[in-house]
Amino acid sequence: MPNLTKYVTPGRRLCFSEGVTAGPGVYERGEYLYASVVGVVQELAPTTEGEPRVVTVTREKVHSAVPDVGSIITGKVIRMTTKEAVVSIMVVGNMPCKDDFQGIIRSQDVRATEKDKVKIYNSFRLGDIVRAEVISLGDARSYYLSTAKNELGVIYAQSVAGAVMIPISWQEMQCTKTKTMEPRKCAKPDIPLPEK
């Protein structure tokens, strides 16, 4: 439970750093903790017994999300080759990006087993909405993404006929209009996003 509430600006000295840890929006310098964003100071009780309290500053205005290693992203497949699918990252966690970031799902990162048999064309199609995990900051241009988990993969796709498809198994989707099957690496549905 928060036990003190006040608004601060960057550079505001909050408290001594001894016995508390810096949470999001707070940094430690010397023997003090300082705020690093505009927002509300909150002092949170530790999640487990015996650990120090956490001081956080919650932003008043959310800035555009930036992908980081380990974060779950949602994006759209915009380009495909035989080796990789290029994804335009639109949402990081639950936060939308103001400008899209570019990510790549390489064929070896599509699924966890039988990696050598993966065909990008049988896993994704252009325009699919994909949920994936950032595994590396990647090269100069793109983040490296992976869908090698049950809950990761295609979450929304349209068939050749243009109708919405529903997942049948983890690697097949069926068109609601023509009942044709199309191969996809589907995400296991109905699992809420893991809390970060």
Partner 1 sequence: MVDRRRIQGPEVSVAPIIIKSADKRTCLKDEHSRRRDGRNLEDICPIFLKTGLISQANGSAFIEIRRTKIACGVYGPRQTKIPSFSGKGNLNVEIKFAPFSCQKRRQPYRDAQEKDLSQLVIEALVPSIRLDLLPKSTIDIYITVLENDGTASCLAAAITCASVAVADAGIEMLDLVPASSASYIGGEIYMDSDLAEEQHETGYLILSYMPSLKEVTHILQSGDVDLALTTQAFEQCTDACSKIYSVMINSLLLPIRDTQ
Binding stretches for partner 1 (CB under 8 A): 7, 9-13, 25, 27, 29, 34, 36-38, 59-64, 66, 68, 98-102, 137, 139-141, 143
Please report how close the Cβ of residue 96 comes to partner 1 at its closest, in angstroms: 13
From the centroid of its chain, how far is CA 177? 32
Please report how close the Cβ of residue 181 comes to partner 1 at its closest, in angstroms: 36
The Cα–Cα gap between 192 and 155 comes to 12
Please report how close the Cβ of residue 118 comes to partner 1 at its closest, in angstroms: 26
CB nearer partner 1, residue 41 or residue 154: 41
The Cα–Cα gap between 51 and 132 comes to 33
Rounded to the nearest 5 degrees, what angle is found at the Cα of 110, between the Cα atoms of 109 and 113? Answer: 90
CB nearer partner 1, residue 34 or residue 124: 34
Please report how close the Cβ of residue 4 comes to partner 1 at its closest, in angstroms: 17
User: What Å distances lie between residue 74 and 40, 83, 154, 170, CA to CA?
Assistant: 29, 20, 10, 18
Please report how close the Cβ of residue 14 comes to partner 1 at its closest, in angstroms: 11
- C-alpha torsion sign, points 168, 113, 76, 99: positive
CB nearer partner 1, residue 10 or residue 70: 10
CB nearer partner 1, residue 12 or residue 149: 12
Q: Is 19 left (phi over 0), alpha (psi -120 to 50) or beta?
A: left
Please report how close the Cβ of residue 10 comes to partner 1 at its closest, in angstroms: 5
In 3-state terms, what secondary structure has residue 121? Answer: helix
User: What Å distances lie between residue 190 and 50, 124, 194, CA to CA?
Assistant: 36, 20, 12
CB nearer partner 1, residue 27 or residue 156: 27
CB nearer partner 1, residue 58 or residue 171: 58
In 3-state terms, what secondary structure has residue 27? Answer: strand
